[in-house]
Amino acid sequence: MNHKIRCVAIFTKRNNEEAKTVTSLLKEKIKGQGIEVIEFRKDKLDFPGSDVDEKLDLAIAVGGDGTTIKAFRLLPHNVPVLCINAGGTRGILSEVSKNFVESILDPLINGKYFTDRRIRIIAHYNNRISVPVINDFVLMRSELNKTPMFHICVNGDSFGQKMDGIIVSTPTGSTGHSLSNNGPVIQENLECLLLTPIASVNRMPPFVLPMERITISASHDTQLVMDGQITQEIPKNTEIKIVKYAYDAVFLRFKKNNTRQLNKLGYNI
DSSP string for the chain: ------EEEEEE-TT-HHHHHHHHHHHHHHHTTT-EEEEEETTEE--TTS-HHHH--EEEEEESHHHHHHHHHHS-TT--EEEEESS-SS-TT-SEEGGGHHHHHHHHHTT--EEEEE--EEEEETTEEPPPBSSEEEEEES-TT--PEEEEEETTEEEEEE-SEEEEE-TGGGGTHHHHTTPPP--TT--EEEEEEES-TT-PPPEEEES--EEEEESS-EEEEETTTEEEEE-TT--EEEEE-SS-EEEEESS--TTHHHHHTT---
pLDDT beneath 50, residues of the chain = 48-49
Identify the pLDDT of residue 40: 78
Residue 124: HSE in the Cβ half-sphere, 13 Å Cα cutoff: 9
The ranges of the chain annotated as CATH 3.40.50.10330 are 7-118+248-264
**Domain 121-244 classification at class level:** mainly beta
Residue 214: what pLDDT?
94
Q: Is 116 a catalytic residue?
A: no
pLDDT for 126: 94
| Single pTM value for the model | 0.90
pLDDT in tens, 208-248: 999 888 999 999 999 999 999 999 999 999 999 999 999 99
Q: Which fold is adopted by the domain 7-118+248-264?
A: Rossmann fold (3.40.50)
- Please, where in the chain does CATH 2.60.200.30 lie? 121-244
Exactly one of 43, 53, 57, 65 is catalytic; name it: 65
